[in-house]
Each structure stands twice: as structure tokens, then as C-alpha cells.
Copies of this chain bind each other. A is one copy, B any other.
Amino acid sequence: MIRIGILGYGNLGRGIECAIKHTKDMKLVAVFTRRDPSTVKILTSDAKVENIENVLEYKDDIDVMILCGGSATDLPKQTPEYAKYFNVVDSFDTHANIPEHFEKVDDAAKASHHFGLISAGWDPGMFSLNRVYANAVLPTGADYTFWGKGVSQGHSDAIRRIEGVVDARQYTVPVEAALEAVRSGSNPELTTRQKHTRECYVVAKEGADKARIENEINTMPNYFADYDTTVHFISMEEMKKNHSKLPHGGFVIRTGKTGWDNENNHVIEYSLKLDSNPEFTASVIVAYSRAVYRMRKEGKIGAHTVFDVPPAYLLDMSAEEMRAHLL
């Protein structure tokens, strides 16, 4: 059994716990939290809840530590720090800072002879893999990524910070006409506005100036100003009833050409339609935790990404079975 630790018990940590339940080769040893452990109730009856301060006591009892903090402030510190003591996996998703994060984790993991896998999830993660495979197969071509329909937590939070807003949920929606243009192989140049729209559901304080809130959303730089945005004011009851889940998904499409004179067109499309963004992300991370365990056993150390992992390492299945049934 591969012994797993979870560090951080929010939506992602709970998703990891659920995914481990459905494996046959993994066991959750403990959840580590910054909160008072007595206030944290987990689902796995035979796993422990510990304060994060006691994590080093588990140095020899955990094969892979899964870091479930956020990419903004937690993971940039946590992943290099815990790579000193554990094999680690994270879902660091600030694309622009991945090279720097990789270097830090690589230094720490190499020094301590641990294995670190960063940026597992679906984007980065499964989407990245599809970009690599499609670029390898169709070197002459163009990549497109669309997100949604799904809840963007960053955009929802941005709305919640507006004066007079009690709660908010923002859906990113890919524009069907843009998807069709890409699939046609016409290789369109698409602006931000042409690719996605943003749909916002907002619960306002009683008496709040809705026109001002709507205007503040529509004109918010980076988040909404470059998009066609729709704002719906709803009641707290409707928010709870219809917008309590965290669905997401998206599309990675590469169109490309082959032939002596590039005379033939091809479309490779990968898409996800997810009821629960955190649970799917967690499922990817758990599969990669299996690979971390196996690659470390082979003697590999340092930082790695999904690009470095042979697909066979992800499955709890023998190579013979895989060749017979999945090839």
C-alpha cells in the first residue's frame, strides 16, 4: 500500500481523500491542518488529523505527501519546504511562475533525495499533456485552449470584494462560434472577447446600488473589462439551490497539417466536462502520486512534471494487462 498524507483540508484535500477511497493500492495515513485538529472532521475513519506542526513526526510513515494549498501564497513556500522531508505532489497552477517554482522544488528535492511532482491537475496537467502530444504529432499547426463552462473561483472572489455584494458565482463560458471556427481548421486569430463570455450570479445586500455593482464588475480590469459579461442578481436561496457546485471543463484543440506540401488537415481535440473541479483535480493528483511512489522507488529524485511520467506509471494495473486491454 502506498501511504499518503494530505496537507491542507479544503475542497481539494477532501477530493484527494475521496479519490484515495476508490483506489486499491493507496491508504490515507493522516490529514495535516493549520486549524485545531479537534475541529476538523474527515471522512476516513482510520486516518488521523494532525496539526501541521507535527508533520515531521510522520517522516517515515508517509510515502507521498499531497500538498493541497493555494498557488498564490501556500505552494510557493510549502512545496520546496516539504520536499526536504517527503516526496511531494502539488497542483501549482500559476502558469507564469512554473519555471521558478520548478527550480526551487528541484533544488530542495535533490538535496534531500526526494521526488517532487509539480502542477498536476487538469490545467496545468491533462490539458498540458494534450498540448505536448498534439504538438509532437502535428509540428505544423496551432494550439487553442478554451475553458468552461465552469465556475472560476478567482473571478467569483473578485466580485465578492465589491462593496454591497454578499455572494457571487462567475461562470466562464466558451463561445460556440469560436470553437467551431477552430475545429474547421481555418486557424482563426481570436481575441479574448471572441473566445469566452463571463456570466455572473450576484447576491446583493438589501438596498445596495445594483447599477453601480454591475458597472464595477463590467469595468474591472483583467477580470471582466475585456469580456462580454452578463450580471444576474439573484436571491441567496437561488444561489444555494442552483450554484453550490463547482463544475468546470474545457477544450484543448490543435489543428495541423501533414503531407509533402502540407496539403492535408487534421484536428485533435481533447475536452473535459466536470461536475466537480476540485474532485477531478484531486483524481489527477492521486494518479500522479502513484507515479511519484514508483519513480522514487526506481531511484529518481528532484522535481518533475506530468511531461516526465510514462503513462503506465499512473495505473494500478500490470504492463501485460494494460497492453492486452487498453492498447
Contacts and interface: CB of A to CB of B under 8 A. Distances in A.
Given A132-B326, A133-B126, A258-B280, A308 B312 contact: yes
Contacts of A129: 133, 311
Contacts of A178: none
A175 interface: no
For this complex, into which size category does the number of interface residues on chain A fall?
35 or more
B95 A327 contact: yes
Interface in A53-110: 95, 98-99, 102
Q: Which 6 A-B pairs have the closest CB atoms?
A: A136-B314, A264-B275, A307-B312, A136-B287, A258-B279, A264-B276
B272 A266 contact: yes
A132 B312 contact: yes
Interface stretch (A15-23, A211-219, A231-239): A15-23
A34 to B, nearest CB: 23
A170 interface: no
A326 B267 contact: no
Interface string A306-323: 111111101111011011
Chain multiplicity (copies):
2
A315 B268 CA distance: 16
A207 B137 CA distance: 47
A129 B102 CA distance: 26
A154 interface: no
Contacts of A314: 132-133, 136-137
Interface in A114-146: 119, 124, 126, 128-133, 135-140
Given A18-B259, A273-B267, A137 B310 contact: no
Nearest to A143: B326
A269 interface: yes
Given A264-B275, A275-B264, A327 B315 contact: no
A283 interface: yes
Given A312-B132, A312-B308, A266 B260 contact: no
Interface string A8-51: 00000001011101110000000000000000000100000000
